[in-house]
Structure 1
Amino acid sequence: MKLNRQKILDFFKKSESKASVILNDKTKASDTIKEALGKAVTNKGQLEGVWAKMVLLFAIAKDYVNGDYTEIPKRSIIAILGGLIYFLSPIDVVPDFVPVLGFIDDVFVLNLVYKQVLKDLEKYKIWKDAQINYIEDADATEI
């Protein structure tokens, strides 16, 4: 099966448009992230190739929406949320219920988003590691 790259990108652009609207409503944005995470966990076996990337995308989206991490350009968070919205859609270029191939376009989009925001993700990982180390240091001083 040959994927129509342009058709996938067109669907993704629509998902990004939805993301920019959803980002204005923190509750909707949070619910979207939770729903996408639930779908990802349910289908983890079919997402092995992008699982670690998805976990990072979920983490940064959650921290952004919660207001914990805002040092990311708006276009990057829109791309991330757009990728998660695309992933959530059961009817996209390759419907998710198609055995074996159902998530191939989703994986393509998620990899595309990951590459697009890689520098922002690297900065986020440094910030996240510092948060974890800070908590560990604070716990050690309480002992």
Structure 2
Amino acid sequence: MKLNRQKILDFFKKSESKASVIIKDKAQASQTIKEALGKAVTNKSDLDGVWSKMVLLFAVAKDYVNGDYTELPKRSIIAILGGLIYFLSPIDVVPDFIPVLGFVDDIFILNLVYKQVLKDLEKYKIWKDAQTNFIEDVERRGI
């Protein structure tokens, strides 16, 4: 099956448009992330090649929406949320209910988003590690 790359990208652009609206509503953005995470966990075996990337995308999106991490450029959070919205849609270029092939377009988009925001994700990982180290240090010292 040959995927129509342009058709997938056009669907993704629509998802990014939705993301630019959703990001203004913290509750709706949180709900979108929660729903996408639930779908991802349910379909983890189908997402094997992109799972670790998705976990990072979920984490940064959650921390951004919660206000814990605000160093993410707007274009990056919109791309990430757009990727999650695309992933959530059961009817996209390749409908998710098609065995084996159903997540091929989703994986393509999630990999694309990951590559687009890689530098921002690297900064986020440094920040996240620092948060974890700080908490462990405080617990160790009993402060």
Q: Name the TM tier (shorter chain).
A: over 0.9
* Structure 1: gaps of 5 or more residues: none
Aligned partner of residue 100 in structure 1, secondary structure: coil
Aligned 1:68-83 pairs, distance under 5 A: 68-83=68-83
- TM-score (normalised: structure 2): 0.99
Q: Which residue of 1 aligns with 2:114?
A: 114
| One-letter identity of the residue aligned with 1:22 | I
Partners of 1:140 and 1:57 in 2: CA distance: 30
Q: d(CA) in 2 for partners of 1:55 and 1:138? A: 26
1:92: which partner in 2? 92
Deviations 1:32-56 (A, max 9, x none): 0000000000000000000000000
1:72 CA drift (Å) = 0.8
**RMSD across aligned positions (CA):** 0.7
Q: Which runs of 5+ in 2 are unaligned?
A: none
3-state secondary structure, aligned to 2:71: coil
CA distance in 1, matches of 2:49, 2:113: 14
Q: Partner letter of residue 96 of structure 1?
A: D
TM-score for the superposition, normalised by structure 1: 0.99
Distance 1:102 1:72 in 2: 31
Matched length: 143
CA shift for structure 1 position 132 = 0.1
Separation (CA, whole Å) in 1 of partners of 2:33 and 2:72? 17
Structure 2 counterparts to residues 1-143 of structure 1, below 5 A? 1-142=1-142
Partner Cα separation in structure 2 for residue 48 and residue 132 of structure 1: 26
Identity, % of aligned pairs? 85
Give distance in 2, aligned partners of 1:109 and 1:16.
11
Deviations 1:85-105 (A, max 9, x none): 000000000000000000000
Quote the offset at 1:141 in angstroms: 1.1
